[in-house]
């Protein structure tokens, strides 16, 4: 995952990961009955597109630097995505890194969003589809490595490895995958502790988002696969 989008092959399937917190939020919105999630890198474009939707049918989420953008309905906390708030609505969302990562991979034949909370559901779908090449794309922070996305990539790869019983060299397309599996193996029983070590985890703690860290460090609690139906628009499979 350290390299945001490897350039030397075309994957059959690309999985965006932003555990803290964009892909955790996307999975939560769709599990809570949201109609779809539409992602934007640009805040103005988000406003422009969502203006055409009635306020009852839309929710606007804007995050920069971990905080909520003024004028938006919400920031990027998955805990705000209750069924009462999101049911039947489309979430228009722009975040610092996660939504950009999704836009960078939008041309892959299959695009999904994964976090720790929906890891098992995504793995199950990958095993059913049996794609030849899968990218797991960590969003990181402004282009750099992040612990939380790497551990989630490791959780996905570890589970694929366990369930297929293939040798690790057949599962791992590069050294980063083996590194991510090792990180997950070491921290799998203390993922919340790892979130506390992560630089973006610390940033969120300074913003009083302890409950978000707790929620996002749980594994396999949502049976939802967010999948792209058209560029930039994800729906529940
Ligand atoms: C991002 O896209 O960088 C994150 O999701 C930031 C956040 O925690 O809101």
Q: Which tens digit of pLDDT belongs to each residue from 40-84?
A: 999 999 999 999 999 999 999 999 999 999 999 999 999 999 999
The model's confidence at residue 202, banded by pLDDT at 50, 70 and 90, is very high
Q: Is 18 touching ligand 1 by the criterion CB < 6 Å?
A: yes
Quick check: 6 pLDDT over 90? no
**ipTM of predicted assembly, 2 dp:** 0.94
| Spatial separation of the C-alpha atoms in residues 27 and 15, rounded to whole Å | 13
pLDDT above 80: residue 209: yes
Spatial contact of 19 and 118, defined as CB atoms under 8 Å apart: no
- The angle formed by the CA atoms of residues 194, 79 and 196, to the nearest 5 degrees, is 15
Among 98, 100, 149, 205, name the best residue to mutate to test ligand 1's pocket (greatest count of ligand atoms within 8 A of Cβ).
98
User: In terms of Cα–Cα distance, which of 131, 153, 64, 154 is closest to 100?
Assistant: 64
Residue 63 in contact with ligand 1 by CB distance below 6 A: yes
Ligand 1 proximity of 77 Cβ (cutoff 6 Å): no
Residue with tokens 């905080």: 67
Within a 10 A sphere around the Cβ of 232, how many other Cβ atoms?
17
Contact 149, 17 (CB under 8 A): yes
Q: Is 78 in the pocket of ligand 1 (CB under 6 A)?
A: no
Global pTM reads 0.95
Ligand 1 atom with least separation from CA of 76: 9
């Amino acid at each position: 995952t350290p390299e945001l989008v490897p350039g030397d092959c075309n994957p059959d399937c690309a999985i965006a990961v932003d555990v803290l917190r964009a892909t955790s939020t996307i999975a939560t919105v769709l599990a809570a009955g949201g109609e779809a999630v539409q992602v934007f890198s640009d805040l103005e474009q988000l406003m422009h597109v969502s203006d055409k939707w009635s306020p009852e049918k839309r929710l606007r989420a804007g995050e920069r630097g971990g905080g909520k953008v003024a004028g938006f309905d919400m920031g990027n906390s998955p805990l705000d995505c209750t069924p009462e708030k999101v049911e039947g609505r489309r979430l228009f969302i722009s975040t610092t890194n996660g939504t950009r990562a999704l836009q960078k991979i939008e041309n892959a034949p299959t695009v999904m969003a994964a976090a720790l909370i929906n890891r098992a559901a995504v793995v199950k779908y990958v095993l059913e589809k049996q794609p030849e090449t899968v990218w797991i794309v960590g969003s990181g922070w402004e282009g750099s490595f992040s612990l939380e996305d790497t551990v989630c990539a490791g959780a996905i790869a570890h589970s694929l490895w366990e369930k297929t019983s293939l040798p690790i060299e057949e599962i791992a397309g590069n050294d980063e995958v083996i590194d991510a599996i090792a990180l997950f193996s070491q921290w799998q029983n203390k993922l919340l502790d790892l979130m506390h070590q992560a630089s973006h985890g610390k940033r969120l703690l300074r913003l009083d988002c302890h409950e978000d860290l707790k929620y996002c460090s749980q594994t396999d609690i949502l049976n939802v696969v967010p999948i792209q139906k058209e560029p930039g628009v994800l729906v529940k499979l």
